[in-house]
Structure formats: C-alpha cells, structure tokens
Amino acid sequence: MLTREQALQIVLRRLAALGHELGKPELAQADEQTRLFGETAALDSIGLVTLIADLEEDIRVATGQTVTLADEKAMSRLTSPFRRAGLLAEYVVEITRN
C-alpha cells in the first residue's frame, strides 16, 4: 500500500529517468501538474505506454503487487488517470489499495 506522496515520488522519479533516456531533460523538473498525454504533453503515445510499463515494474518492486495500470477500466474513466502526473499517482494509490 502506498501513500499519495509515495506514489507521486515513484511517478516523478520514473518520469525523470525516462526523460533522461528520451533526451527530454525537462522531465526531471516534472511535478504533479505535468501533463503526460494530450496536446502540449511531454510524452507521445509510445512514451506514455513505456512510462506505464516501467511504473508497473516500479510498483512491483515497491509493494510486491503485480498491477495493470492501463486497462479498459482506466481508459473508460471520465477523467483519464494518464492526463497529469498527480492524477496518475492517485490512480496508483487506488489500485494498490487492495
């Protein structure tokens, strides 16, 4: 089980690492308002899929839980959890709660 703050740290750390890998150093300064997907976002669709895959691994390491972040349930939400870093962190807390 993760707190919102812990989940946010995991998301931001992973964003920074992926930014380093993708040559987007600005992602090291990401915060919970950082847009992940959509117009003006830092990542394209493949970048977002990569972030999600890496986060699933980070969550497994941190909690021992195997989770799927991107599934139909997540996609059909009115507010996509992939829109901003903070929303994604909240979604991580939610699905690791059980």
Partner 1 sequence: MSLLTRFTAYSAKPALAGSWGVVNFGELDALVVRAREFLRQLKLDRPTAFGLIGEHGPASTAWLLVLAEAGHFVAPLSGNAVEHPAKLALINAQWIITTEPLSWSLYPRVDEPSAHPLFARLREQGAAGLILFSSGTSGVPKAMVQDFPKLLATYESRHESRLPVLALLGFDHIGGLNTLLGSLAAGSLLVIPASRAPASVAAAIATHRVAVLPASPTFLNLLLASGEVEGHDLSSLRVITYGTEPMPESLLHRLKAAFPRARFIQTFGTSETGITRTESPDPGSTFLRFDDPGLEWKVVDDELWLRSRTQIAGYLNASNERFTDDGWFRTGDKVELGPDGTLRILGRMGEMINVGGEKLMPAEVESVILGVPGVIDCRVRGEAHPLTGQTVVVDVVAPAADQEALRAALRTACRQQLARHKAPTRVNFVAAVSGERLKKTR
Which residues sit at the interface with partner 1, rule CB under 8 A?
17, 20-22, 44-46, 48-50, 52-54, 70-72, 74-75, 82
Residue number with CB closer to partner 1 (1 or 49): 49
Residue number with CB closer to partner 1 (4 or 22): 22
* Distance of closest approach, residue 71 Cβ to partner 1, in angstroms: 6
Residue 18: Cβ within 10 Å count: 20
* Distance of closest approach, residue 16 Cβ to partner 1, in angstroms: 12
Give per-residue burial for 74-91: e unless 16+ CB within 10 Å, then b: beeeeebbbebbbbbbbb
**Angle CA(52)–CA(90)–CA(25) in degrees, nearest 5?**
50
Strand partners, 66: none
Helix H or strand E encompassing 42: none
* Distance of closest approach, residue 73 Cβ to partner 1, in angstroms: 9
Residue number with CB closer to partner 1 (21 or 26): 21
